[in-house]
């Protein structure tokens, strides 16, 4: 494990991850010290009962890094929150994503300030989750925590709660030590970085050329506090606290020119990106500003600010997510223009994020040739203010005419490749038939018992998450630890049991993938699973959910009802979820009992025809039991609603790495001549990983030349029939 942010560590981070791969958010939990029995005896379970233990005002604030997802014990609605606040006599203002109330963590304001109304309200309560933030003291916590505090206040007849007494930020010594060490490193890098005004003119020009920011002037760079860190040749973007302007973190952006025409950008941050909650530019925004442009990168924000004079903020993790903890900082704006980039991924993200921000105040810049990302637009000499003025309202009407749709249709026609979705790096054959992985679709996956369905889907989903697809696993059959072990093995492409010294290296990289797991095991109630999925979509912008498998949701339903009807109902619910949440759902369904030697068909999926009718894609893992080749499997695409192409291609199982991805044949033959098999595997692994990383970078870097995934299949083909062929 890395213990300090050395230069090597930064270099590792810079080269280790592509842009857009993000990043486990931190869940902040406030928990009472358990031994007091306070929470369990009173607050969480029965709010009517009095505490059984004497209240000790000391609390621990635990900042856990979690990648597993629980539904809150008491899911709240905005109506619940409002009713509760009213019952406590707390006045509030109904905002876009949050309710605003006077903070209970600061002394009540003077009469004059109270009369200032909502402007003096500094406590923000998320309407979806009840999570709160006091902007004045930076105290934050869950809805349960806020209720606990209010109960205490009422009981003790206090007018406010002193955060220093009640909320001691007593993290473990290790956590505190880690934070202090990070902060020292932030300051060390910051103070050894050079301000733009201290750079020689020719150096500055060179840097501007490398980062393709030649149109950004020194005034803008200085205004945003950008510096240059020579040892890693990186631009340094600061994260200033909106509270007291202290430096909380930094992001380093490096650009490496490969060949002559290819620039690859990498970024790293301290604290690491999963804990980096900076809205770049926030410290420059005045309290009275009501309009703002939200961008996907720091450079884009500066471009907008320079060209239009409008306040511009950059999301810390680009288009990959809008963490709800940032929403309170965006409440003040009556108009938000989302200009997240120049491609379809940015467009999809802006539609998703505008739902969180409140559709009515959002307008979106539609990407296209005339509307590239802001920095590109500046480079091309376009009028950025005009582009922003031409942005379209996010709230759409229930009935539209073609006139309103024509630009959307044009967008789809002119970006065929991007509309087709994200391409798999490990399964070029799947790209050839399915064209890509698209949001909002439902994929049904089946295969014989024990044939490797979970193993295959793990790799299929891993491939996508390595390209920045925020993924949520619902594994009801096998425990999360075992599942994570399988996925990690596939990620490292080797048996880590035999290379334990490499565990930390791979685990560190794996930790950065946007992968989350539901904490369910065994039979589950559909509603609970759906609530969790909704919750995860809101918190982590999940765009791919895997359900392994459907049968685990049927046990709890009323058994007197026809089980096929129950299954149909569940499928219908997931279909609706996929469409409404713009989230791809991959659902494993067991086949009905067939004769062993028969291949499966769409009709072999357990239940009625509902599953295949509702599904956009039907995938079948075909198993042919050959004595000569017992591990041989094929993947059949039996339905593809996107463009109708179906086909089948062989998969070769590698028991060491648990992967199905087809080996690169021509290269393998070449390596066989060389003879060293271990070397071959390593080279292959490196090549694949490089390809994955490159592809993710490509999706974020407009100037990167894209390498087509051109391996042609011998077997898959066009047509709507269900032909089954085997490699």
Ligand X SMILES: Nc1ncnc2c1ncn2[C@@H]1O[C@H](COP(=O)(O)OP(=O)(O)OP(=O)(O)O)[C@@H](O)[C@H]1O
What is the binding site for ligand X (CB under 6 A)? 447, 449-455, 477, 631, 633, 653, 658
CA–CA distance, 6 with 188 (Å, rounded to integer): 10
CB of 412 to ligand X, least distance (A): 35
What single-letter DSSP state applies at residue 605?
B
Q: Which is nearer to ligand X, 18 or 650 (CB)?
A: 650
CB of 452 to ligand X, least distance (A): 2
CB of 495 to ligand X, least distance (A): 12
Tokens of 521: 């095991």
Query: What is the per-residue DSSP string for 400-418?
Result: --HHHHHHHHHHHHHTHHH
CA–CA distance, 363 with 395 (Å, rounded to integer): 8
Q: Which is nearer to ligand X, 305 or 551 (CB)?
A: 551
CA–CA distance, 605 with 425 (Å, rounded to integer): 28
CB of 458 to ligand X, least distance (A): 8
Contact 115, 121 (CB under 8 A): no
Q: Which is nearer to ligand X, 249 or 448 (CB)?
A: 448
Contact 167, 103 (CB under 8 A): no
Q: How far is CA 674 from CA 664, 668, 671, 677, in A?
A: 16, 10, 5, 9
CB of 22 to ligand X, least distance (A): 28
CB-based contacts of 19, cutoff 8 Å, min separation 6: 265, 266, 267, 318, 696, 697, 700, 701
CB of 639 to ligand X, least distance (A): 20
CB-based contacts of 89, cutoff 8 Å, min separation 6: none
CB of 601 to ligand X, least distance (A): 17
CA–CA distance, 306 with 221 (Å, rounded to integer): 9
Q: Could you give the 3-state DSSP secondary structure of residue 671?
A: helix
Contact 154, 88 (CB under 8 A): yes
Tokens 């939200």 correspond to 294
Q: Which is nearer to ligand X, 495 or 674 (CB)?
A: 495
Taking the CA atoms of residue 551, residue 557, residue 561 and residue 567 in that order, the dihedral angle to the nearest 10 degrees is: -30
Q: For residue 227, what are the β-bridge partners?
A: 195, 236
Q: Which is nearer to ligand X, 233 or 590 (CB)?
A: 590
Q: For residue 132, what are the β-bridge partners?
A: 125, 141
What single-letter DSSP state applies at residue 556?
T
CB of 525 to ligand X, least distance (A): 21
Q: For residue 457, which of 492, 423, 483, 482 has the smallest C-alpha distance?
A: 483
Q: Which is nearer to ligand X, 400 or 626 (CB)?
A: 626
Q: Which is nearer to ligand X, 275 or 659 (CB)?
A: 659
What single-letter DSSP state applies at residue 358?
-
CB of 526 to ligand X, least distance (A): 19
CB of 529 to ligand X, least distance (A): 18
Tokens 């590792």 correspond to 12
* Cα 555–Cα 558–Cα 563 angle in degrees, nearest 5: 70
Q: Which is nearer to ligand X, 155 or 592 (CB)?
A: 592
**Omega of the bond leading into 23 within 30 degrees of 0 (cis):** yes
Q: Which is nearer to ligand X, 631 or 719 (CB)?
A: 631
CB of 625 to ligand X, least distance (A): 11
CB of 184 to ligand X, least distance (A): 45
Q: Which is nearer to ligand X, 131 or 489 (CB)?
A: 489
CA–CA distance, 710 with 648 (Å, rounded to integer): 17
Q: Which is nearer to ligand X, 477 or 725 (CB)?
A: 477
Q: Which is nearer to ligand X, 120 or 455 (CB)?
A: 455
Q: Which residue is nearest to ligand X, using beta carbons?
A: 452
CA–CA distance, 232 with 9 (Å, rounded to integer): 11
Contact 363, 338 (CB under 8 A): yes
Contact 380, 394 (CB under 8 A): no
Q: Which is nearer to ligand X, 281 or 447 (CB)?
A: 447
CA–CA distance, 622 with 507 (Å, rounded to integer): 32
CB of 653 to ligand X, least distance (A): 3
């Amino acid at each position: 494990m890395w213990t300090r942010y050395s230069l090597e560590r930064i270099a590792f981070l810079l080269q280790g991850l592509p842009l857009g791969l993000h990043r486990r958010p931190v869940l902040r939990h406030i928990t009472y010290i358990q031994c007091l029995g306070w929470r369990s005896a009173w607050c969480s379970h029965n709010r009517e009962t009095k505490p059984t233990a004497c209240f000790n005002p000391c609390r621990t604030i635990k900042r856990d890094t979690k990648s597993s997802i629980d539904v809150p014990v008491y899911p709240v609605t905005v109506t619940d929150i409002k009713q509760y606040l009213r019952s406590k006599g707390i006045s509030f203002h109904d905002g876009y994503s949050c309710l605003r109330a006077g903070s209970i963590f600061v002394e009540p304001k003077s009469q004059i300030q109270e009369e200032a109304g909502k402007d003096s309200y500094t406590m923000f309560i998320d309407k979806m989750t009840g999570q709160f933030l006091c902007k004045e003291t930076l105290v934050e916590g869950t809805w349960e925590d806020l209720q606990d505090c209010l109960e205490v206040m009422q009981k003790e007849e206090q007018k406010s709660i002193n955060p220093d007494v009640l909320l001691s930020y007593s993290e473990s010594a290790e956590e505190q030590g880690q934070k202090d060490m990070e902060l020292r490193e932030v300051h060390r890098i910051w103070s050894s970085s050079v301000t733009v005004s201290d750079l020689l003119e020719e150096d500055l020009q060179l840097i501007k050329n490398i980062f393709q920011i030649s149109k950004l002037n020194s005034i803008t760079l200085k205004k945003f506090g950008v510096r240059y860190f020579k040892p890693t040749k990186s631009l340094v973007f600061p994260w200033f606290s909106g509270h007291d302007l202290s430096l909380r973190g930094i992001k380093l952006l490096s650009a490496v020119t490969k060949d002559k025409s290819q620039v690859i950008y990498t970024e790293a941050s301290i604290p690491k990106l999963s804990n980096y909650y900076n809205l770049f530019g926030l410290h420059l925004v005045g309290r009275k500003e009501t309009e703002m442009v939200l961008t996907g990168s720091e450079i884009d924000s500066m471009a907008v600010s320079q060209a239009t004079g409008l306040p511009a903020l950059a999301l810390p993790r680009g288009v990959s997510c809008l963490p709800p903890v940032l929403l309170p900082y965006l409440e003040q704006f009556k108009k938000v223009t989302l200009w997240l980039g120049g491609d379809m991924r940015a467009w999809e993200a802006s539609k998703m994020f505008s739902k969180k921000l409140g559709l009515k105040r959002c307008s979106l810049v539609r990407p296209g040739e005339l509307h590239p990302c802001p920095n590109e637009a500046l480079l091309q000499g376009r009028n950025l203010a005009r582009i922003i003025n031409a942005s379209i309202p996010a709230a759409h009407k229930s009935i539209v005419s073609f006139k309103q749709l024509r630009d959307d249709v044009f967008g789809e026609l002119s970006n065929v490749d991007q509309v087709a979705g994200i391409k798999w790096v490990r399964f070029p054959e799947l790209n050839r038939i399915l064209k890509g992985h698209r949001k909002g679709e439902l994929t049904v996956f089946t295969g014989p018992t024990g044939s490797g369905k979970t193993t295959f889907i793990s790799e299929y989903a891993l491939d996508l998450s390595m390209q920045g697809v925020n993924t949520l696993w619902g594994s009801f059959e096998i425990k999360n630890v075992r599942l994570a072990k399988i996925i990690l093995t596939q990620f490292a492409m080797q048996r880590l049991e035999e290379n334990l010294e490499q565990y930390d290296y791979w685990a560190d990289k794996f930790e950065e993938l946007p992968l989350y797991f539901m904490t369910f095991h065994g039979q589950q109630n559909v509603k609970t699973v759906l609530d969790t999925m909704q919750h995860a979509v809101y918190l982590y912008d999940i765009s791919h959910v895997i359900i392994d498998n459907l049968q685990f949701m049927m046990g709890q339903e009323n058994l007197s009802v026809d089980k096929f009807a129950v299954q149909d109902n569940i499928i219908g619910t997931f279909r609706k979820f996929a469409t409404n949440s713009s989230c791809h759902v991959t659902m494993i369904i067991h086949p009905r009992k067939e004769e062993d030697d028969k291949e499966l068909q769409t009709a072999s999926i357990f239940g009625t025809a509902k599953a295949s009718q509702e599904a956009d894609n039907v995938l079948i893992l075909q198993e042919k039991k050959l004595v000569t080749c017992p591990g041989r499997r094929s993947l059949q695409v039996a339905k593809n609603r996107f463009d109708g192409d179906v086909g089948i291609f062989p998969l070769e199982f590698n028991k060491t790495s648990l992967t199905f991805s087809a080996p690169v044949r021509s290269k393998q033959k070449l390596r066989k001549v060389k003879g060293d098999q271990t070397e071959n595997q390593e080279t292959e692994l490196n090549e694949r990983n490089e390809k994955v990383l490159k592809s993710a970078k490509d999706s974020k870097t407009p100037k990167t030349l894209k390498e087509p995934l051109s391996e042609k299949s011998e077997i898959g083909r066009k047509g709507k029939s269900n032909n089954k062929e085997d490699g």
